[in-house]
Structure 1
Amino acid sequence: MKFGCIILTLAAAACTLPANGGSEANACATNTQLEQSVAGLAQAKLCIFSGAKKRSFTVEIARNSMEQAKGLMFRTELADDTGMIFPFPEPKIASFWMKNTVIPLDIIFIRENGTIESIAENTVPYSTEPVSSGEPVASVLELRGGLTSELGIAAGDKVVWQSK
């Protein structure tokens, strides 16, 4: 996913969202070392807590500016239990576009405390219109378009993930 209005230069840094609470982090943590994705990216387990429901995903981690610029471009499918997370070294207004992105995506903007700030659902493939967060966020998660609605994931839900 290329950044439209904002070109970000990000250092590669491991990221565990702070202030996630021990019990939620433990409920999502895994002792299994995940292999790199087919695209060569590190992967992590990620959970979204919606009330009493927990949704689990395996996500690719786009850590540096080159990985983040490419994102999920040119992919023709995305399984319902997978996605990509874009961690930022400092919270910021995040702006994404869908140029060269073949499939619709749900773009989830995540605050520093792990709560979902907003969701841009079913973004339009190939669009160069920016999709932005409404406030500074610590990371962005991309899932298959329409999945957040299908699973009942909404603003205010909690996202927990740990990377090694």
Structure 2
Amino acid sequence: MRLVHRPEPANDRSESVLASDVDVARSTLEQARGLMFRRSIPDDYALVFPFEGADTRWLHMLFVPFAIDAVWLVDGEATAKKRLGPFVGLGRDRADTVVELPAGAAEPVAVGDELRLVK
């Protein structure tokens, strides 16, 4: 599975792969654990948190010793992006899906861009 980025405007067909090593945290336990207790993640890694319906989604960096980029999505469209620092980072925004990537990996992503999982 890959995480693909398509910049806005919609008529721009250029796509890029943000991550080719993707895990999906579907269960409540997987979502609660997130990246906690990992020492690092690969450069081409993404952890995707799908939720039922758009709502305010909080992220914390407790027990995560490295920085990440977080992207909040509604219907596949980026609504917010933030760099979260190790151990003390905190972020929130409205989303039905949240994506966690290595720090710097979401640099090309802007609000309004499309992110989607493809096989």
TM range (shorter): 0.7 to 0.9
Q: How many aligned positions are there?
A: 113
Runs of 4+ in 1 over 3 A off after TM superposition: none
Query: 1:120 corresponds to which residue?
Result: 82
TM-score norm. by structure 1 comes to 0.63
More helix by share: 1
More strand by share: 2
3-state SS, counterpart of residue 67 of structure 1? helix
Gaps of 5+ in 1: 1-43
Query: 1:147, 1:130 → 2: CA distance?
Result: 18
Cα RMSD for the two superposed structures: 1.7
Query: 2:95 corresponds to which residue?
Result: 137
Cα deviation per residue 1:65-114 (whole Å; 9 max; x = unaligned)? Answer: 110111111222222211100000121110111000111010110112x1
Q: CA deviation at 1:53?
A: 3.4
3-state SS, counterpart of residue 93 of structure 1? strand
3-state SS, counterpart of residue 148 of structure 1? coil
Gaps of 5+ in 2: none
Query: 1:161, 1:69 → 2: CA distance?
Result: 21
3-state SS, counterpart of residue 96 of structure 2? strand
TM-score norm. by structure 2 comes to 0.85
Q: Does 1:95 align with 2:58?
A: yes
1:54-69 equivalent positions in 2, closer than 5 A: 54-57=16-19, 58-69=21-32
Query: 1:49 corresponds to which residue?
Result: 6
